[in-house]
């Protein structure tokens, strides 16, 4: 609910053209020749459609000759085959060999984000933004990673930096709106989300985020309109269902509120704020046991978020502000 990574990120693309950093075993000329032969054989296997052979040859080149190029190519193939854990393992091996290589860090960060692993992604992106502070895409991706992990304060800083470097990008503005919602800066959220929708009017996540901002400042009618627009684009948009639930709760239509909030938690099981609102709804419906279960679930999810923020602080070496409770 905090962010739908698949909607806010461009498709993660691992560039196989990174500069190779090898540690060839002596004799050097022979080792280089053997490494080059493995890479050529892997390329031929891939051209012939023999992906398994290509991956085996690239793995051998990475293991025997410490070839970063081979490991990057291997990670790309593994990612394309849906093997995210294998791809991350290959990229981690590449990071061990070339810890400051921009291509390696960028590939690792994008793949980790696509795999919904924001903490390791943030560690790599933190390094990238220090290496290339004027690259807007790194600041944007860092902001997404921080927001997903629960560190809304630092996410704001990164996303505002991205917006300064490349002003007016709709995805950056949409991500800023999500962060402002999380920080309860709903007027600011409405402003940037409206600007984003002027350029990209049919993005369901942005419409839903605008609906949440409007509901939070009391514009219930407008909030429901935007939530309905979001659901017309994407029927499983969790934030839109959440907003409908909040609106129905305010209207004292508790059974309808319950149903909308249950739809939201089905679409995004990690969203703590849905459980909090459900606890209120169940209390008003007179179901004390369900209210207690929802409140307990909310507290557990909030604790898990606090742990992610702590892990994020450790990964980036920066003291992170702990997220507060939900409204």
Mean pLDDT for the chain?
Answer: 88
Answer yes or no: is pLDDT of 239 > 60.
yes
Rounded to the nearest 10 degrees, what angle do helices 136-149 and 288-316 cross at? 140
Task: Provide the strand spans (E) within the chain.
Answer: none
- 285-298 residue pLDDT tens: 999 999 999 999 99
Torsion angle, CA of 188/194/200/205, rounded to 10 degrees? 60
Answer yes or no: is pLDDT of 6 > 60.
no
Q: What is residue 316's predicted lDDT score, i.e. its pLDDT?
A: 72
**Domains of the chain by start residue, with CATH:** 5-18+101-316 (1.25.40.10)
pLDDT band at 19 (very low <50, low <70, confident <90, very high): very low
Q: What angle do CA 86, 314, 99 make, to 5 degrees?
A: 50
Closest CA to 211 of 253, 179, 178: 178
Give the DSSP H/E element, type plus range, for residue 16: none
The answer to whether 118 and 149 are in contact (CB under 8 A) is yes
- 112-170 residue pLDDT tens: 999 889 989 999 999 999 999 999 999 999 999 999 988 999 999 999 999 999 999 99
The answer to whether 163 and 176 are in contact (CB under 8 A) is yes
Answer yes or no: is pLDDT of 241 > 70.
yes
pLDDT band at 318 (very low <50, low <70, confident <90, very high): low
The answer to whether 290 and 298 are in contact (CB under 8 A) is no
Q: What is residue 23's predicted lDDT score, i.e. its pLDDT?
A: 41
The secondary structure of 253-293 as a DSSP string is: -HHHHHHHHHHHHHH-TT-HHHHHHHHHHHHHHT-HHHHHH
pLDDT band at 31 (very low <50, low <70, confident <90, very high): low
Reduced to 3 states (helix: H, G, I; strand: E, B; else coil), residue 70 is helix
- 255-264 residue pLDDT tens: 999 999 999 9
Return all residues near 231 (Cβ < 8 A) that are at least 6 apart. Answer: 204, 237, 240, 241, 244
Answer yes or no: is pLDDT of 58 > 80.
yes
- 62-80 residue pLDDT tens: 999 999 999 999 999 999 9
Region 237-244: mean pLDDT is 97
Residue 327: Cβ within 10 Å count: 9
CA distance 172 to 138: 12
Q: What is residue 137's predicted lDDT score, i.e. its pLDDT?
A: 96
The answer to whether 275 and 244 are in contact (CB under 8 A) is no
Region 31-44: mean pLDDT is 87
Closest CA to 242 of 218, 221, 219, 266: 266
The rounded radius of gyration (Å) of the Cα atoms in the chain is 23
Total residue length of the chain: 327
pLDDT band at 309 (very low <50, low <70, confident <90, very high): confident
CA distance 181 to 223: 14
CA distance 62 to 24: 11
CA distance 235 to 28: 59
pTM for this structure?
A: 0.81
Reduced to 3 states (helix: H, G, I; strand: E, B; else coil), residue 325 is coil
- 186-207 residue pLDDT tens: 999 999 999 999 999 999 999 9
């Amino acid at each position: 609910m905090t962010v739908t990574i698949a909607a806010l990120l461009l498709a993660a693309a691992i560039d196989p053209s990174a500069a190779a950093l090898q540690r060839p075993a002596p004799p050097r000329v022979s080792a280089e020749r053997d490494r080059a032969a493995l890479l050529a054989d892997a390329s031929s296997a891939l051209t012939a459609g023999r992906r398994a052979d290509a991956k085996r040859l690239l793995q051998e080149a990475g293991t025997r000759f410490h070839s970063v190029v081979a490991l990057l190519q291997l990670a790309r193939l593994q990612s394309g085959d849906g093997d995210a854990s294998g791809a991350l393992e290959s990229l981690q091996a590449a990071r061990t060999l070339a810890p400051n290589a921009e291509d390696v860090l960028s590939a690792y960060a994008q793949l980790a984000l696509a795999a919904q692993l924001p903490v390791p992604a943030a560690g790599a992106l933190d390094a990238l933004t220090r290496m290339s502070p004027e690259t807007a895409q790194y600041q944007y991706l860092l902001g997404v990673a921080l927001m997903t992990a629960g560190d809304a304060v630092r996410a704001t800083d990164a996303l505002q930096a991205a917006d300064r470097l490349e002003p007016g990008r709709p995805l950056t503005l949409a991500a800023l709106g999500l962060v402002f919602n999380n920080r309860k800066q709903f007027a600011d959220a409405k402003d940037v989300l409206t600007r984003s929708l002027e350029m990209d009017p049919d993005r369901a996540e942005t419409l839903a985020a605008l609906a949440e901002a409007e509901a939070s400042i009391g514009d219930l009618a407008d909030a429901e309109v935007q939530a309905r627009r979001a659901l017309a684009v994407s029927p499983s948009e969790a934030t839109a269902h959440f907003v409908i639930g909040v609106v129905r709760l305010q209207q004292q239509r508790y059974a309808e509120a319950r149903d909308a909030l249950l739809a939201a938690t089905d679409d995004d099981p990690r969203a703590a704020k849905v459980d909090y609102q459900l606890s209120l709804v169940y209390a008003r419906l007179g179901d004390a046991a369900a209210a207690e279960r929802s409140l307990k679930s909310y507290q557990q999810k909030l604790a898990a978020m606090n742990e992610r923020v702590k892990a994020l602080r450790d990964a980036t070496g920066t003291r992170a502000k702990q997220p507060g409770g939900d409204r």
